Structure 1
Amino acid sequence: MADNRTMAQLLQAPTEGYEDAIVIPEINANFELKHGLINLVQNKQFFGHDKEDPHAHIRYFNKITSTMKFPNVPSTSEKLCLFPFSSRAAQFGLRNEPSSDRINMMTCKSKFINKFFPPSKTTNLRNEITRFQQRFDETFYEAWDRFNDLLRACPHHGFSELHQLDTFYKP
């Protein structure tokens, strides 16, 4: 089949495939994101640096978005509208998603966590928890706080409470 496009048409950049990966379900209400709400979500923006905790970012985002309610607007729609404003790194990551892979809030959070908390990071933190020892110059309470910080850094560590206590109190 012959291509009957002119040279000018052939040289034009394609315009398909630039749809947003996040698709907001149709909202049958008068709904508008206010600047104050966007600023609140952007207050603790996630940039994707190594020392940043994506789980803490999701907890903060959920805390902020759980305080708002718009009449006749599903909370998932509100969250989907706001999430790209909460993270420069998430915006970049979601822009790279194929437009055919439409994202809901659960997959949005899942993709975000998987991008910024890969399995290797989980393995490293689990090993650090397993090898935990109180430092010579550290008080019991300082050690306990440090141990709990490690557990919070990897909320899906999978260690039972008994295993955690055994690890902390091991000789």
Structure 2
Amino acid sequence: MKFPNVPSTSVKLMLFPFSLEGAARIWLEKEPPRSILTWECIFVSKFINKFFPPSKTTNLQNEITRFQQRFDETFYEAWDRFNDLLRACPHHGFSELHQLDTFYNALNSNDQDSLNSAAGGNFLDKMPRDI
């Protein structure tokens, strides 16, 4: 959604309350009026710290880093599960290249070969935008 002369962060800030429910909605309603004036304030310093304490973030980051395709798991199932982990920790801090590298190295050799073939060479030699 774009409005002329209105920064996208202002639109995010305006719409953010409508994306919450349950504990997150209660948390926002308890915040003092005018205590959240910028997107960075709400998302980084308040929301993330409340719902993703450092120990939870570290645990989720470790799960992403240690990801492995299961023996009986198809490529698509592994991809879905990996993306679920990334969504569970939206502030994981891993670059797109790091995410692709982690996922590729977690796959069985047959699925790695399929990705290399689809990429027209070594998958990891490609740039993320080309993949």
TM range (shorter): 0.5 to 0.7
2:77 matches 1:139: no
Aligned CA distance change for structure 1 residues 115 and 72 (closer, same or farther; 3 Å): same
Aligned CA distance change for structure 1 residues 115 and 135 (closer, same or farther; 3 Å): same
How far apart are residue 138 of structure 1 and its match? 1.0
Please provide the CA RMSD for this pair.
Answer: 3.5
Cross-structure match for 1:104: 37
TM-score norm. by structure 2 comes to 0.53
Cross-structure match for 1:93: 27
Greater helix content? 2
Aligned CA distance change for structure 1 residues 132 and 78 (closer, same or farther; 3 Å): closer
- Percent of aligned pairs with the same amino acid: 67
How far apart are residue 135 of structure 1 and its match? 1.5
Aligned CA distance change for structure 1 residues 167 and 129 (closer, same or farther; 3 Å): farther
Letter of the 2:66 counterpart = R
How far apart are residue 104 of structure 1 and its match? 1.0
How far apart are residue 146 of structure 1 and its match? 1.8
Aligned CA distance change for structure 1 residues 72 and 96 (closer, same or farther; 3 Å): same
Work out whether residues 125 and 150 of structure 1, in 8 Å CA contact, stay in contact via their aligned partners in 2.
yes
Cross-structure match for 1:40: none
TM-score norm. by structure 1 comes to 0.43
Unaligned regions of 5+ residues in structure 1, if any? Answer: 1-65
* Cα distance in 1, alignment partners of residues 15 and 94 from structure 2: 34
Question: Comparing 105-114 with 80-89, which one deviates more in the overlay?
Answer: 80-89
Q: Which structure would you say has the larger RCO, counting Cα contacts within 8 Å and 6 or more residues apart?
A: 1
* Cα distance in 2, alignment partners of residues 78 and 165 from structure 1: 33
The alignment of Structure 1 onto Structure 2 pairs a total of residues equal to 103
* Cα distance in 2, alignment partners of residues 74 and 133 from structure 1: 40
2:102 matches 1:164: yes
* Cα distance in 1, alignment partners of residues 94 and 8 from structure 2: 33
How far apart are residue 113 of structure 1 and its match? 2.7
Work out whether residues 129 and 151 of structure 1, in 8 Å CA contact, stay in contact via their aligned partners in 2.
yes
Q: Which has the greater radius of gyration?
A: 1
Work out whether residues 132 and 167 of structure 1, in 8 Å CA contact, stay in contact via their aligned partners in 2.
no
* Cα distance in 1, alignment partners of residues 82 and 11 from structure 2: 36
2:88 matches 1:153: yes
Aligned CA distance change for structure 1 residues 93 and 137 (closer, same or farther; 3 Å): same
Letter of the 1:97 counterpart = E
Aligned CA distance change for structure 1 residues 121 and 139 (closer, same or farther; 3 Å): same
Work out whether residues 69 and 108 of structure 2, in 8 Å CA contact, stay in contact via their aligned partners in 1.
no
How far apart are residue 119 of structure 1 and its match? 1.8
